[in-house]
């Protein structure tokens, strides 16, 4: 019982006691209103690569009053932006993984598997990429049918 309780107590202590909640109220101001930011911008060379980002930062971002550096404040108002970026990342990584898995499963039925891992068979690869586009649907289907996971009998266990 103690082995299960100790990690929970440790997690609660770290969660509530280690770091106080950071608040940006009063510390961050619009970059165009920050004296330190204006001073920093004045010391930059006069060219496109410095001036154009500075205009955007000054108008849209918040800067530290003391350091004059742009800071991003992420709250619930930005949750949709984060969810969209995470969704795109998750879909692309799933697409890559599922396409590779489909290709390896397709060449496992061929005679020269090792050679097809080095020299990619284009028709099989294109078919695997097309299959990878629908990976969320395929993963749900294979999870429900039990094809995606292995049974306990198929998994080897060390005799130690």
- pLDDT by position in tens, the chain (length 160): 666 777 888 887 777 776 566 565 567 888 888 888 888 888 888 787 877 777 777 788 888 877 888 887 777 777 888 899 999 999 999 999 999 999 999 999 888 888 888 999 999 999 999 999 999 999 999 999 988 888 888 888 888 7
Q: Provide the CATH number for the domain around residue 137.
A: 1.10.8.110
Query: Does 51 share its domain with 95?
Result: no
- Is residue 134 assigned to a domain? yes
Q: pLDDT value at position 25?
A: 56
> What is the C-alpha separation between 98 and 102, in angstroms, rounded?
6
Q: pLDDT value at position 144?
A: 92
Q: pLDDT value at position 154?
A: 86
Domain count, the chain: 2
Query: Does 41 share its domain with 92?
Result: no
Query: Does 94 share its domain with 140?
Result: yes
Pair type for strands 28-30 and 62-64:
antiparallel
Of 71, 100, 132, which one is at a domain's C-terminal end?
71
- Is residue 16 assigned to a domain? no
In this prediction the pTM is 0.57
Write out the residue range of the structural domain in which residue 90 sits. Answer: 78-148
Q: pLDDT value at position 56?
A: 74
Query: Does 104 share its domain with 125?
Result: yes
C-alpha 125, offset from chain centre: 26
Contact (CB, 8 A) for 71 and 62: yes
Output phi, psi for 109, to 5 deg.
-90, -5
Query: Does 143 share its domain with 107?
Result: yes
C-alpha dist (Å) from residue 65 to 8, 70, 71, 131, 134: 39, 10, 11, 52, 48
Query: Does 89 share its domain with 144?
Result: yes
Q: What is the dihedral of CA 37, 41, 43, 48, to 10 degrees?
A: 160
Of 71, 87, 104, which one is at a domain's C-terminal end?
71
Query: Does 58 share its domain with 110?
Result: no
């Amino acid at each position: 019982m103690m082995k299960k309780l100790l990690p929970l107590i440790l997690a609660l202590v770290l969660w509530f006691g280690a770091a106080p909640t950071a608040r940006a109220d009063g510390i961050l101001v619009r970059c165009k209103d920050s004296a330190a930011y204006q001073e920093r911008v004045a010391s930059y060379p006069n060219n496109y690569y410095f001036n154009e980002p500075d205009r955007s930062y000054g108008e849209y971002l918040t800067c530290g009053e003391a350091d004059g550096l742009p800071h991003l404040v992420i709250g619930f108002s930005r949750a949709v932006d984060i969810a969209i970026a995470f969704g795109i990342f998750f879909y692309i990584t799933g697409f890559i993984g599922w396409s590779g898995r489909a290709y390896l499963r397709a060449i496992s039925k061929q005679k020269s598997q090792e050679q097809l891992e080095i020299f990619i068979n284009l028709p099989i690869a294109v078919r695997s990429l097309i299959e990878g586009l629908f990976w969320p649907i395929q993963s749900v289907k294979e999870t429900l049918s039990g094809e995606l996971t292995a049974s306990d009998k198929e998994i080897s266990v060390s005799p130690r």
